[in-house]
Amino acid sequence: MTLRRTTLICLACCQISAAAMAANTPAEEKAEMDRFVTELMSRMTLEEKLGQLNQQPSDEIATGPVVNSNASKLAAEGKLSSIFNIMDVEKIHALQKIAVEKSRLGIPILFGMDVIHGYHTIFPLPLGLSCTWDMEAVRQAAHIAAVEAAANGVAWTFSPMVDIALDSRWGRQAEGAGEDPYLGSLVAEAMVRGYQGDLFNPDGTEAGIMACVKHFALYGAAEAGLDYNTVDMSHLRMYNQYFPPYKAAVEAGAGSVMSSFNIVDGIPATANRWLLTEVLREQWGFKGMVVTDYASIHEMTSHGLGSLKDNAARALLAGTDMDMCANGFIGTLKQSLDEGKVAMEDIDRACRRVLETKYRLRLFKDPYRFGSKKEAASVTYCKEHRETARRITAESFVLLKNGTDGHPVLPLEMKGTIALIGPMIDTRTDITGSWSMPQDATKYSTLREGFKRALADKAQLLCTQGCNLTDNPKTQQAVAKGHNCEPIPFVDSRQAMMEAVEIARKADVVICAMGECAWMNGEGTSRSRLEMYPPQRRLLEALRQTGKPIVLLNFAGRGTVLTWESENVDAIMNVWYGSECADALCDVLFGKVSPSGRLTVSMPRSTGQEPLYYNRLPTGRPVPDGTKDYRVWSPNYLDAVQGPLYPFGYGLTYSTFSYSDIQLSSRTMNADGSITASIVVKNTGGREATEVVQLYIHDIAASISRPVKELKDFRRITLKAGESRNVEFHITADKLKFYNYNLDYVLESGEFDIMIGPNSRDVKKTSITVE
Ligand code: BGC
């Protein structure tokens, strides 16, 4: 049956002929799009084409050093293809009106925004979302973000960030899914699906916005965890460890890709033809649009690659379609064309991809299709979204310690006197974490408010800030402002500590809300020490002297060092922010919900261990994790117990689980075969809880050195007290394949370790042979 759709109306004051959309097969749709874009381009001047390659930031929210207050003028001149981070749908539509009605061809603007973990309903940081190990939750979070953003006029988000981040010193670990390529790929796919829904389906009705996979590529591998720093990596490592999440996002249909700031093989990603054309388009089949990161064409000069003009030409030739903020394309490509450094077809290619993107987003059909005041009012921060966010936020918390010697501290009872202490207790702007610029903090509860509401008249709540975030008042005040956060007050530290100790003495239990506030992770927030900031540690030491049980809520956007805390406080839970954080925390702390988050980054014992990750390559002199005594001539530190304090995949709950030995359906398989590995997991505790059963594989003898362990599958299961379940994993060739020395994706015969357990450390082990 042929579906006839509405006529594609030319917005460009009817200068572009109307195209009847009678197509319904993908091939017909593509042909129709090609006709439309070709016809439009035949009318475009060089300046108008370059205008389509130009993206500018708004002057509302700064996410980098460039601002633009020229948007209306550029829009009227047809020189503004895209703009990002405008907050109000009416402002967005007003600017769109200028582009559509005043510019010669009326080509609509593509409105983008950094909607990273929510619009007004803010979910945990992406790192925290990944700790749910719940792909439906990840999809839902992205979908809700998209619904709210779309209702507010946004068509395009610069998310997901899928950079593998092995080094917790890098503050942008917060924005990704942690250290694992397999989990990272699943998260990438879930986020793309969540954002886009059926956006690119011409008959689609579901709200969605275009995803942008970033930062392509290897941005998370900056040396020393220093943001924007050099990256140097073997192709083997790229293909096996760093590329999979980008590829998964592309395969999930992401409409756009953002190149990264860093160099790849000596050439900035922004102008790296191998990366942007050979890998992305030729090997992976990406058909969408590539945008640079913030002014990165301009930054190529600082990388040591010459003038803006030369670098703009290089970026275009490499496969970049849109220039974010550098004014390199709009400012210099005409000259490069005159000088023969780029050809008209290079400009046309990029222009076509941008126009195709706008076409596929149906902006030519209706440039105002994203958002309205009415829609915004009905969905933004609505009850349903808040409830989902509360549930997912609770799912993301990772319980790292709960009492000692089988005497749990959590869950707490709602009775007696509870002290809530720490710099995070009264902040409304920081509760959502970094990269939550679209937030409306006036709507959120502080921790104090949330706890008060939950405890009502059941228990007495005593609160005080207790300490500063850092000892440096300048950092605490000024940086916060730069990040659109209200600074957390800089208090007299002696006085604050005395008050905290006094309150703690009166309480039955002390809850400390500490760690990183919003601006302490995210872009440009590398840390050289991952330990608790000194004033916060001093407060913990003082509170410990009271002898009261201490529950530490560690707010973080990365792996942090909790070695002292693990020995000196009674319970530790990692918290990854969110607009509903206060309520979600009460749900978990007071036992309505059992914690179920599992770490997606290894937490080190000391900063010097970084980069620390579980899926490392073996050395020739293996030293097992947990080894305390120093061994000579071995890859171990003189001054640290080996391995992480809390391993990848780790997390406790309010119950306990036992694991049987692994049963195999067979010990051998051939290339087309499969083996079922099963294990019986039993809830041995007193209440229903969720366990994440994890499958790891190690190739014992391969043609190249392979990681000591690699996550290949997992099941998130909820068991009642006493309940057992037989959990099955199907091992097929795709779980055993890797890129070999020639970068061929192969299955090699031989023996493989099969490991199953609750985290990457505590596994049961057996082996299989591939014949
Ligand atoms: C960041 C990107 C972000 C862009 C636009 C850059 O500084 O690296 O992740 O999307 O700014 O705000």
Percent of the chain topping pLDDT 70 = 95
- Tell whether ligand 1 has an atom less than 6 A from the beta carbon of residue 214: yes
Strands of the 417-421 sheet, one edge to the other = 398-402, 571-575, 550-555, 509-515, 417-421, 460-464
**Catalytic: 348?**
no
Task: Kindly report the protein residue whose alpha carbon is nearest to atom 8 of ligand 1.
Answer: 293
Lowest mean pLDDT among 315-324, 479-488, 666-675: 479-488
Position 97 pLDDT exceeds 60: yes
Rounded distance from Cα 166 to ligand 1 centre (Å): 20
Q: Which helix (H) or strand (E) holds 717?
A: strand 710-719
Position 452 pLDDT exceeds 50: yes
Residue 15, pLDDT score: 40
Residue 12, pLDDT score: 43
- Tell whether ligand 1 has an atom less than 6 A from the beta carbon of residue 294: yes
Residue 583, pLDDT score: 98
**DSSP string across 141-204:** HHHHHHHHHHHTT--EE---B------TTSGGGGGS--S-HHHHHHHHHHHHHHHHTTTTSTT-
- Tell whether ligand 1 has an atom less than 6 A from the beta carbon of residue 64: yes
Residue 221 pLDDT level (bands cut at 50, 70, 90): very high
Position 22 pLDDT exceeds 70: no
Task: Kindly report the protein residue whose alpha carbon is nearest to atom 4 of ligand 1.
Answer: 294
User: What does the mean pLDDT of the chain come to?
Assistant: 95
Bridge partners of residue 682, in order along the sequence? 658, 724
Say how far apart CA 639 and CA 655 lie, in whole Å: 35
Position 11 pLDDT exceeds 90: no
Residue 8, pLDDT score: 40
Closest ligand 1 atom number to CA of residue 161: 9
Residue 213 in contact with residue 250, Cβ under 8 Å?
A: yes
What the block records as the tokens of 585 is 């925390």
Amino acid at 653: T
Say how far apart CA 603 and CA 760 lie, in whole Å: 12
Closest ligand 1 atom number to CA of residue 261: 8
Rounded distance from Cα 258 to ligand 1 centre (Å): 9
Residue 60, pLDDT score: 83
Tens digits of per-residue pLDDT, 676-717? 999 999 999 999 999 999 999 999 999 999 999 999 999 999
Percent of the chain topping pLDDT 90 = 92
Position 478 pLDDT exceeds 70: no
Task: Kindly report the protein residue whose alpha carbon is nearest to atom 11 of ligand 1.
Answer: 294
What the block records as the tokens of 362 is 């149906």
3-state helix, strand, coil in the chain (%, to 5): 35, 20, 45
Site to substitute for ligand 1 among 116, 158, 291, 323, most atoms within 8 A of C-beta: 158
Residue 65, pLDDT score: 76
- Tell whether ligand 1 has an atom less than 6 A from the beta carbon of residue 523: yes
Rounded distance from Cα 293 to ligand 1 centre (Å): 6
Rounded distance from Cα 712 to ligand 1 centre (Å): 31
Lowest mean pLDDT among 59-68, 561-570, 648-657: 59-68
Rounded distance from Cα 387 to ligand 1 centre (Å): 29
- Tell whether ligand 1 has an atom less than 6 A from the beta carbon of residue 565: no
Amino acid at 558: R
Task: Kindly report the protein residue whose alpha carbon is nearest to atom 2 of ligand 1.
Answer: 293
Position 476 pLDDT exceeds 80: no
159-187 burial, b for 16+ CB within 10 Å, e for fewer? bbbbbbbbbbbbbbbbbbbbbbbbbbbbb
Residue 63, pLDDT score: 82
Which residue from 723, 726, 714 is spatially nearest to 185, judged by alpha carbons? Answer: 714
Site to substitute for ligand 1 among 59, 111, 114, most atoms within 8 A of C-beta: 114
Say how far apart CA 36 and CA 43 lie, in whole Å: 11
- Tell whether ligand 1 has an atom less than 6 A from the beta carbon of residue 293: yes
Average pLDDT of span 453-459: 97
Average pLDDT of span 91-120: 98
Closest ligand 1 atom number to CA of residue 175: 9
- Tell whether ligand 1 has an atom less than 6 A from the beta carbon of residue 654: no
Average pLDDT of span 150-162: 98
Rounded distance from Cα 598 to ligand 1 centre (Å): 28
- Tell whether ligand 1 has an atom less than 6 A from the beta carbon of residue 158: yes
Residue 699 in contact with residue 750, Cβ under 8 Å?
A: yes
Task: Kindly report the protein residue whose alpha carbon is nearest to atom 6 of ligand 1.
Answer: 294
Rounded distance from Cα 175 to ligand 1 centre (Å): 11
Site to substitute for ligand 1 among 63, 154, 161, most atoms within 8 A of C-beta: 63
Query: How far is residue 202 from each of residues 26, 72, 356, 576, measured CA to CA in Å?
Result: 10, 30, 13, 37
Residue 416 pLDDT level (bands cut at 50, 70, 90): very high
Residue 395 in contact with residue 573, Cβ under 8 Å?
A: no
Average pLDDT of span 68-86: 93
| DSSP summary character for residue 131 | T
- Tell whether ligand 1 has an atom less than 6 A from the beta carbon of residue 63: yes
Residue 61 neighbours by CB distance under 10 Å? 16
Rounded distance from Cα 63 to ligand 1 centre (Å): 6
Residue 606 neighbours by CB distance under 10 Å? 17
Catalytic-role residue among 180, 293, 570, 587: 293
- Tell whether ligand 1 has an atom less than 6 A from the beta carbon of residue 657: no
Tens digits of per-residue pLDDT, 704-762? 999 999 999 999 999 999 999 999 999 999 999 999 999 999 999 999 999 999 999 99
Which residue from 693, 699, 700 is spatially nearest to 678, judged by alpha carbons? Answer: 693
Closest ligand 1 atom number to CA of residue 215: 9
Rounded distance from Cα 741 to ligand 1 centre (Å): 34
Residue 377, pLDDT score: 98
Rounded distance from Cα 288 to ligand 1 centre (Å): 19
Position 459 pLDDT exceeds 90: yes
Residue 481, pLDDT score: 63
Task: Kindly report the protein residue whose alpha carbon is nearest to atom 7 of ligand 1.
Answer: 294
Rounded distance from Cα 205 to ligand 1 centre (Å): 29
Residue 100 in contact with residue 368, Cβ under 8 Å?
A: no
Tens digits of per-residue pLDDT, 374-412? 999 999 999 999 999 999 999 999 999 999 988 999 999
Say how far apart CA 79 and CA 495 lie, in whole Å: 57
Closest ligand 1 atom number to CA of residue 159: 10
Residue 137 in contact with residue 145, Cβ under 8 Å?
A: no
Rounded distance from Cα 87 to ligand 1 centre (Å): 16
> Residue 699 — φ and ψ, nearest 5°?
-85, 115
Residue 238 in contact with residue 272, Cβ under 8 Å?
A: no
Q: Can you list the alpha helix ranges (DSSP code H) found in 463-568?
A: 473-474, 480-482, 493-506, 534-544, 563-568
Residue 62, pLDDT score: 78
pTM score, whole prediction: 0.96
Position 2 pLDDT exceeds 60: no
Residue 497, pLDDT score: 98
Say how far apart CA 749 and CA 771 lie, in whole Å: 5
- Tell whether ligand 1 has an atom less than 6 A from the beta carbon of residue 114: yes
Q: Which helix (H) or strand (E) holds 728?
A: strand 724-732
